[in-house]
Amino acid sequence: MNMPKASFLGWQQQFSTEEDCLAYLKKMKWPSEFICPCCAHNQGYEIRRRRLYECTYCKKQTSVMAGTLFHGSHISLVKWFWAIYFLGSDKGSISALRFSKLIEVNWRSSRLILKKLRVAMSHRDSLYQLSGTIELDDALIGGRQKGKRGRGANGKTSVLIACESIEKKAGFITMEAVSSVCHLSVDEFVKKHLKRGQKVHSDALPALNVIDQTQHYGSQITPSNLEDERHHRVRIVIGNMNSYL
């Protein structure tokens, strides 16, 4: 479910009953008409008392909640939708205890709902591919240790980071740990996380030249004193990431 720009009051008014929530789920699952999950037949009727749909061809019964986060849950859909709103609009890391008070369930139920929603959100984000103008860079993460510094240092992990550049703001961000920054790892990262034919900017690291095979790639050797200026958004991401490690 995409998070609309609405206040919680507006959200409550839109999804104030179980029927409102079910109608929304039905629209998401069957945008134009009912489709049987068993035989793909498009004729069926609703069994209102049991909130099920039965296919007129194979007699298979299904519900709009089958195959969703809500299937088999004893928590009302209204509270599930509250949970989606609060998690989607929260900018920090919300605790299960606070969450339980917001959606009026016990702590165990709150913890389970949070877990399910976070897993679903991570699956959704993993399918998203960046587009438009994109800044791409690599970074080494890990605590300071004695010995060699920079690439090849012990205890360090290489990470590829890509960030959408939307006017003066950052859009979606994706990052992935790799065994090494080489043509193969960069190519796999770009094909997985970027739509084909986008504008990609980075520094002149030779391993990144493979980007040119699928994207409109522009590279430029960047002096250390100009890194933050030329690749401003992706450098902020790297700086924020390092501050938490």
Query: Strand (E) positions, the chain?
Result: 44-47, 52-55, 61-62, 133-141, 157-166, 169-178, 199-202, 216-219
- Note the pLDDT tens digit of each residue in 26-85: 998 998 889 998 998 999 999 988 889 999 999 999 999 998 889 888 999 999 999 999
Higher pLDDT pick, 170 / 41 = 41
Mean pLDDT of 211-225: 79
With a pLDDT cut of 90, the percent of the chain lying above it is 46
> With bands split at pLDDT 50, 70 and 90, how would you rate the model's confidence at 118?
confident
- Note the pLDDT tens digit of each residue in 124-144: 666 788 999 999 999 888 766
Interatomic CA distance for residues 215 and 199, integer angstroms: 6
Angle between helices 107-127 and 96-103 (to 10 degrees): 100
CA distances from 30 to 33, 35, 37 (A): 5, 7, 11
Higher pLDDT pick, 58 / 8 = 58
